[in-house]
Amino acid sequence: MLTRKQHELLIFIDKHLRATGFSPSFEEMKDALKLKSKSGIHRLITALEERGFLKRRAHRARALEVIRLPENIAPRRAPEPAQVAAPSTPAFSPNVIHGRFAPNLTGVQRAANEAAAVQLPLYGRIAAGLPIEALRDSGTSVEVPAALLTSGEHYALEVAGDSMVEAGILDGDTVIIRRGDLADNGSIVVALVDENEVTLKRLRRKGNSIALEPANPRYETRIFGPDRVKVQGRLIGLLRRY
């Protein structure tokens, strides 16, 4: 027996799959069900998986498969191959934001505890060389093993540059960040500099100064006054594709 919201989501996913050939985004599902956050969608999808109505394909974004429909719904007809539209790649037109990462993510950890993997928002490329402004593409997410996450809110960033190579962080890696404004001395953090530059570096406190330290001798450590640097999150994990 499905709840009303579970039933609505299953029917919406099924109609979207038959019309387009690929599953809707979490944002589209949230809007269709008039929910306030994506964490509710995570919980509904997990419940539908547990009841055998949905299947989530591992390591692929937007890859849901409807296994069966409720008994009071007519059986699905598989679309002819010519009727299935190939997913199109949207034009990349990111908006520049200034260090306000991972808004409205309350509940992500609860979803992680209920599933083997969880979708985290992927926030653009962050410099592991000189600081750059962070780019946010709110429609992009990455599937992360739940075991990587701790308590609290999380988001993901794609690394650009080679200044953290000796810490095992390479250009193109995806880092998992626990959102927060506190970090121990020596932690690798996402740091906001002068309110508009964001970088991934090791944090060192030296008296009344803060040093952002690279892990590559080709780059210099940058030192700032304490009022010029704000911690946006702490590195807790890393994903790499080969």
Nearest 5°: the CA angle 75, 63, 21 is 55
Indicate which residues carry an active-site annotation. 163, 201
Contacts of 187 (CB under 8 A, 6+ apart): 202, 203, 234, 235
Distance CA 34, CA 5 (A): 10
15 Cβ contact partners less than 8 Å away, ≥ 6 residues apart: none
Place of tokens 């807790």: 236
For residue 92, is it left (φ>0), alpha (ψ between -120 and 50) or beta? beta
